[in-house]
C-alpha cells in the first residue's frame, strides 16, 4: 500500500511540474497574459548539485544552482553533466540538439523520464523557448546549433541565475568553462569491429584535468599510469648470458656481431 501511495505522489509531482512548465511556456510565447504558477524564486541560494568523485577535481564546490557553464569539445561532456544532475532528481530540457543520442544520455546516468527534448525550435521562437525552459526546469542544455548574440546569451544567463536553473551552453564564451577531448576509442582492430571503450579527458581553465572511461556499463575514472622505479626497469632489461651471441660470432658476409655482454649490467 505504501509503495502505491509513493508512486501516486511521484506521478502527481511530475504532473504538477509539467503543468507549471507548460504554463510558463504559454506566457513566454504570448498565448496567455498571466500564468497561475507559483513564483519561481525558490530557496535555492547556495544550493549545488553534487559531482561524482571522478570529476570532483574540476568542480570542487559542485555545480551551483543558477550557474551558466560553457561546454566545448566532445558532446559527451554535456551528457555526463546532464546525467550527473539527472541522477539527483533534476528535470532537464535539451534545446537545439537534433542529433541527441538517448542511449548515450541513459548510459551516462540520465533519467529519461525527467527530460524534455526540443530538437530545433523555429528561429523566431528560440529565446521564448529557452526562457520557458529556464523557468520550468532545473537544468537546461543549449545545443551548439542554437545561434544567439551576446546580448541574448547574457539575458538568458541572468534569468537562469535568478531562477536557480543550471544552464549548460555548448560553445558559449562564459566565465565558467569545461572542455572535453576524446582521447581514444578502443575495441576495433584493423579498422573493423565494435568500439568497446572511450577515454574522455575533461579540463577547465586554471584547474587540473581528469580522464574517464566510458564502457557499455557506464563510466568510471580512468586509472592513471604510475612511474616505474628505475631499479625495477633495469631488472627487466637484464638478458641471460646464455641467450646472447658469442663475442666473436660472425654474421653473414663476414660482418662481426657486436658484443652485448654489458646489457643490463
Could you read off the pLDDT tens digit of each residue along the chain, which spans 265 residues? Answer: 545 445 455 555 655 655 565 555 544 444 443 333 334 445 566 799 999 999 999 999 999 999 999 999 999 999 999 999 999 999 999 999 999 999 999 999 999 999 999 999 999 999 999 999 999 999 999 999 999 999 999 999 999 999 999 999 999 999 999 999 999 989 888 778 888 899 999 999 988 899 999 999 999 998 754 444 444 444 444 445 554 445 454 545 544 444 444 444 4
The answer for residues whose C-beta is within 8 angstroms of residue 8's C-beta and 6 or more apart is: none
Nearest to 209, CA basis, from 51, 57, 54, 52: 57
Q: Are 86 and 92 spatial neighbours (Cβ–Cβ below 8 Å)?
A: yes
- Would you state the pLDDT for residue 59? 95
Angle made by CA atoms 170, 174, 179, in degrees to the nearest 5 = 50
Report the candidate in 153, 132, 138 with the shortest Cα–Cα distance to residue 70.
153
Would strands 218-221 and 68-73 be described as parallel, antiparallel, or unpaired?
Answer: unpaired
Closest CA to 25 of 160, 152, 139, 127: 127
Report the pLDDT value the prediction gives residue 241, as an integer from 0 to 100. 52
Which pLDDT score, from 0 to 100, does residue 193 have? 80
Q: Which residues contact 137 (CB under 8 A, 6 or more apart)?
A: 21, 90, 91, 92, 93, 116, 165
pTM above 0.75, yes or no: no
pLDDT at 58: 95
- Please tell me the predicted confidence (pLDDT) of residue 40: 42
Q: What is the pLDDT of residue 261?
A: 46
Integer Cα distance of 145 and 90 in angstroms:
24
d(CA 4, CA 190) in angstroms, rounded, equals: 54
| Residue whose entry in the numeric block shows the C-alpha cell 513566454 | 28
Sign of the torsion formed by the C-alpha atoms of 45, 141, 180 and 81: positive
pLDDT at residue number 55: 93
Q: Which three cell numbers stand for residue 182?
A: 576524446
Amino acid at each position: 500500500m505504501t509503495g502505491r501511495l509513493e508512486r501516486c505522489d511521484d506521478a502527481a509531482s511530475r504532473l504538477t511540474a509539467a503543468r507549471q512548465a507548460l504554463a510558463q511556456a504559454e506566457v513566454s510565447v504570448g498565448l496567455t497574459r498571466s500564468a497561475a504558477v507559483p513564483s519561481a524564486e525558490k530557496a535555492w541560494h547556495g544550493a549545488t548539485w553534487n559531482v561524482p568523485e571522478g570529476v570532483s577535481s574540476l568542480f570542487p564546490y559542485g555545480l551551483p544552482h543558477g550557474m551558466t557553464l560553457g561546454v566545448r569539445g566532445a558532446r559527451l561532456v554535456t551528457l555526463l553533466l546532464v546525467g550527473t544532475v539527472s541522477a539527483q532528481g533534476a528535470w532537464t530540457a535539451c534545446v537545439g540538439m537534433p542529433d541527441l543520442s538517448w542511449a548515450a544520455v541513459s548510459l551516462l546516468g540520465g533519467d529519461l523520464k525527467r527530460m524534455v527534448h526540443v530538437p530545433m525550435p523555429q528561429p523566431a521562437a528560440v529565446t521564448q523557448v529557452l526562457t520557458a525552459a529556464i523557468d520550468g526546469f532545473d537544468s537546461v542544455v543549449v545545443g551548439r546549433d542554437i545561434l544567439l548574440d551576446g546580448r541574448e546569451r547574457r539575458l538568458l544567463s541572468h534569468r537562469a541565475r535568478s531562477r536557480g536553473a543550471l544552464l549548460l551552453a555548448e560553445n558559449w564564451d562564459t566565465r565558467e568553462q569545461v572542455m572535453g577531448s576524446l582521447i581514444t576509442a578502443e575495441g576495433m582492430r584493423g579498422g573493423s569491429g565494435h568500439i568497446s571503450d572511450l577515454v574522455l579527458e575533461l579540463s577547465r581553465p586554471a584547474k587540473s584535468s581528469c580522464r574517464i572511461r566510458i564502457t557499455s556499463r557506464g563510466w568510471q575514472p580512468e586509472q592513471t599510469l604510475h612511474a616505474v622505479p628505475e631499479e625495477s626497469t633495469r631488472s627487466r632489461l637484464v638478458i641471460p648470458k646464455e641467450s646472447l651471441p658469442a663475442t666473436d660470432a660472425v654474421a653473414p658476409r663476414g660482418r662481426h656481431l657486436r658484443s652485448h655482454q654489458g646489457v643490463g649490467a
